[in-house]
Amino acid sequence: MKPSEFKVVKAKKGFLLLPGFRAITWKGIVYCKNNKDVELINTDDSINSDFESHESIHIRQAECTKDSWFIFYSLYLWQWLCNFVLFIYGLLIPYKFIAFELEAVANEANHDYAMHGAVYQWKKFNRLSLKQKCRFAKDYKSKKRIMRFSTYVKEFIVPSLECVI
């Protein structure tokens, strides 16, 4: 099934999720670590949480990559590999700085974004150089006790893109 064919996000219980990960979206199905998240997504057909919004954005991003799961996951993996050096700032940092994740985090509070948003901002985030990502990762590491990553993205990374790119 192509990404464009998913109109409603559905969730299932996932058993092989790595520590630090709440869920993974695989071919349009959100595999969640706990049953509460499965219920949260499956309760009705509207997006009613930042978590569900975030996962919906990933489905639309896959649609934006030539409507291909293969291309989406290939780009996702490539970006993670390119971010590998960011491990020096924390185990999850290479994942957090994947362009697809940055877009989803930046827009997850807007529950209409996945259905009505552009869902191609990941291309802007993809323009961040490794040097810029290292600077942001180092800065975030110093602030993470007082600031959630989503807040950091909205207050520091997004404004820098609007000024420079």
Helix/strand/coil (H, E, C) string of 72-95? HHHHHHHHHHHCHHHHHHCCCHHH
Mean pLDDT of 3-22: 88
Indicate if the pLDDT at residue 45 is higher than 80: no
Mean pLDDT of 5-24: 88
In the β-sheet with 29-32, what is the strand arrangement from edge to edge? 10-13, 29-32, 23-26
Give the CA distances from residue 148 to residues 111, 121, 142, 152, in Å, rounded to whole numbers and listed in that order.
Answer: 19, 21, 12, 6
Q: Could you tell me which residues are beta bridge partners of residue 29?
A: 10, 26
Q: Which residue matches tokens 């199905």?
A: 29
State pTM to two decimals: 0.92
